[in-house]
Amino acid sequence: MTDLEIIAIYNTPGQQEEAFKELLGAYQERLYWHVRRMIVNHDDTDDVLQNIFIKIWKALPGFRSESGLFTWLYRIATNEALSFLKQRSLRNSRHIEDPEMIALDRLEADSDFDGDAIQKKLFVALETLPPKQRIVFQMKYFDDMKYQDMAEILDTSVGALKASYHHAVKKIEKTFEED
């Protein structure tokens, strides 16, 4: 079912829940992976994803279709994931100064992560990036998203995104070159 069809069902009186069910079916996995790559841990992703869909349900009556359902959903999901990362970063900064060590410990303790050495190093490096650079890198590198789509989702310019991606790649390259 297309986004326009989902919106059409939602706008039919008495069909809001049915439309939301279709939306869930169409987007839950895509948003799960979008959030999971940022947050890494499955249980945390589950919590954040629940918040995302509850917010979507509550905000749907005010949704304006001209912004595009895909863009709108990804914007809410990105916002929630960034909020979670900021809060986690603040919690961690009170105890330990080494974010790389925290990320490595978290990854090694995670039974739902079975990546090889390169992937482990990559995700540890990602955890040390500022949240904005991290989200930009992930949307480009893993999702191969177009800069124009990313600009709409993140409400920023293509130039800012390219600069962010460039810096993220440089930092990750540096991490790998250190070995």
Residues that bind other proteins (CB under 8 A): 17, 20-21, 24-25, 28-29, 32, 36-37, 40, 42, 46, 49-50, 53-54, 57-58, 78-79, 82-83, 86-87, 90, 111-116, 118-123, 132, 141-142, 154-160, 162-167, 169, 172-173, 176-177, 179
Burial state string for 58-81 with b = 16 or more CB within 10 A and e = fewer than 16: eebeeeeeeebbebbbbbbbbebb
Instruction: Find the shortest distance in angstroms from Cβ 177 to other proteins.
Output: 7
Judged by CB, which is closer to other proteins: 58, or 66? 58
Instruction: Find the shortest distance in angstroms from Cβ 17 to other proteins.
Output: 7
Judged by CB, which is closer to other proteins: 109, or 118? 118
CB atoms within 10 A of CB 129: 20
- How far is it, in rounded angstroms, from Cα 42 to Cα 59? 25
Instruction: Find the shortest distance in angstroms from Cβ 169 to other proteins.
Output: 7
Which class for 16: exposed (0-12), middle (13-18), buried (19 or more C-beta within 10 A)? middle
Judged by CB, which is closer to other proteins: 4, or 159? 159
Judged by CB, which is closer to other proteins: 4, or 170? 170
- Chain-centroid distance of CA 157 in Å reads 18
- Non-local (6+) Cβ contacts of 55 within 8 A are 76, 80
